[in-house]
Amino acid sequence: MSPAAAAASFPVIDFSPFFTTGGGENEVEKEEVINSIREACSDYGFFVAVNHGIPTEAMDLSLEMAREFFDLPSEEKLKCTPSSDTPVTTGYAKQPDHSPNKNEYFLMFEPASAFNVYPTSPAPFRGAVDEIYGGLLAMARLIESLMNRCLGVPEGLMEKFNDDRQWDLMTAFRYFAAAELETPDKDKKTGLYGHKDLNLMTLVLQDQVGGLEFQKDGEWIPITPIPHSLVVNVGDIIQVLSNNKFKSVNHKVNSPQGRDRHSFAFAYLIGFEKMLEPLAEVMKESKEEPKFSKFRFKDYFQLRVADLFNPPANLDDAVTINHYAIPPTVAAAAPAN
């Protein structure tokens, strides 16, 4: 592990056992990785993955393309706005001035999606983002398959449950350097306001600028960038399916100092019509009461998107997954004596 990874104050997981061939020893190493994922997902709600199999050149190129694209004049970037209705707006957009989030972004579905709108310049942009999308998807699928073991449910269960890939999406972000922001109010200089992701998991590829922070026990932990690593966080869907065994984690991006920050966030999602509740297999294993009532994913998605476009005056009033939480019954909540 690199010195930066060894010195980190957050879980760093080395995935190389899944990308090297070996005998029985390799199986032991894989088991250790699975144990580390389980621990990180329940204690932190996130981890940083190194040696994850995505070529470093592809990571560097996609960040370079994002930099070049966002550096284009606004009128060029705005050519990359979709003309048709899409479930989520693809292409380029800048957060409106009233938004607490100070960034601009480019959003795409899977490379084959007819909803995508790519810029023509820089020319290698499309090839680079399509390639990185493929790498991030492969990594998300690997982690999902390991989740079965992490949760103690049968092999293949998660993949079978989450069988519709058309809703996954990837966003390239540019967070404006704090000095460039006009607002004198320091608190409003937030690249991305504190939130929990509504998806299954998010994989983030970030440059070396820094600013991403995760919350643990009320404290913010800065995710000091480790070259060519991926930040992986648990989203609301896993929290529901795992009946709170793994919790979706609060995180934010501070506006960077001195220079802009670039990142790619891959949102591993689920079919919009899917009905969600704690998995029966998880319940069987834990013998606990269900902590969430059943809901359609699309309904939750729409509530969250509505908040995003019209943020409530107090951001603490924004909808979270607790909207579907079942309050513990008096009997379950009462201390045993």
Cβ distance to Fe ion smaller for residue 140 or 282? 140
Residue 196 contact partner, candidates Fe ion, ligand AKG, none, CB within 5 to 8 A by sort of partner: none
Q: How far is the CB of 62 from ligand AKG (least distance, A)?
A: 13
154's torsion region: left (phi>0), alpha (psi -120 to 50) or beta? beta
Which amino acid type is present at position 44? Answer: Y
Q: How many CB atoms lie within 10 A of CB 155?
A: 10
Q: How far apart are the first and last CA of the chain?
A: 48
Q: How far is the CB of 255 from ligand AKG (least distance, A)?
A: 12
Residue 146 contact partner, candidates Fe ion, ligand AKG, none, CB within 5 to 8 A by sort of partner: none
- 254 interacts with ligand AKG by CB under 6 A: no
Residue 210, judged by CB atoms within 10 A of its CB (0-12, 13-18, 19+), counts as: middle
Residue-by-residue DSSP string for 130-191: HHHHHHHHHHHHHHHHHHHHHHT--TTHHHHHS--GGG-EEEEEEEPPGGG-----GGG-EE
What distance in Å separates the CA atoms of residue 98 and residue 316, rounded to the nearest whole number? 17
Residues 195-214 that bind Fe ion (CB under 5 A): 197
Cβ distance to ligand AKG smaller for residue 104 or 243? 104
Q: How far is the CB of 212 from Fe ion (least distance, A)?
A: 9
Cβ distance to ligand AKG smaller for residue 148 or 255? 255
Residue 279 contact partner, candidates Fe ion, ligand AKG, none, CB within 5 to 8 A by sort of partner: none
Tokens at residue 287, please? 């013998």
Total of chain residues touching Fe ion, rule CB under 5 A: 1
Q: How far is the CB of 285 from ligand AKG (least distance, A)?
A: 30
Contact 65/124 with Cβ under 8 angstroms?
Answer: yes
Which residue from 136, 249, 265, 282 is in contact with ligand AKG, where contact means CB under 6 A? 265
Which residue from 49, 253, 269, 270 is in contact with ligand AKG, where contact means CB under 6 A? 253
Tokens at residue 254, please? 């501070």
Residue-by-residue DSSP string for 237-266: HHHHHTTTSS----EEEEPPSSS-EEEEEE
Longest dimension (CA), the chain: 69
Sequence-ordered list of residues with C-beta below 8 angstroms from that of 194, at least 6 positions apart, any chain = 215, 250, 251, 252, 315
Contact 225/207 with Cβ under 8 angstroms?
Answer: yes
Total of chain residues touching ligand AKG, rule CB under 6 A: 12
Cβ distance to ligand AKG smaller for residue 148 or 171? 171
Cβ distance to Fe ion smaller for residue 104 or 197? 197
Cβ distance to Fe ion smaller for residue 168 or 197? 197
Cβ distance to ligand AKG smaller for residue 116 or 206? 206
Residues 185-224 that bind ligand AKG (CB under 6 A): 192, 197, 202, 204, 206, 212
Eight-state DSSP code of residue 9: S
Residues 139-158 that bind ligand AKG (CB under 6 A): none
Cβ distance to ligand AKG smaller for residue 263 or 320? 263
Residues 168-187 that bind ligand AKG (CB under 6 A): 171, 173
- Residues lying near ligand AKG in the complex (CB under 6 A) are found at 171, 173, 192, 197, 202, 204, 206, 212, 251, 253, 263, 265
- Residues lying near Fe ion in the complex (CB under 5 A) are found at 197
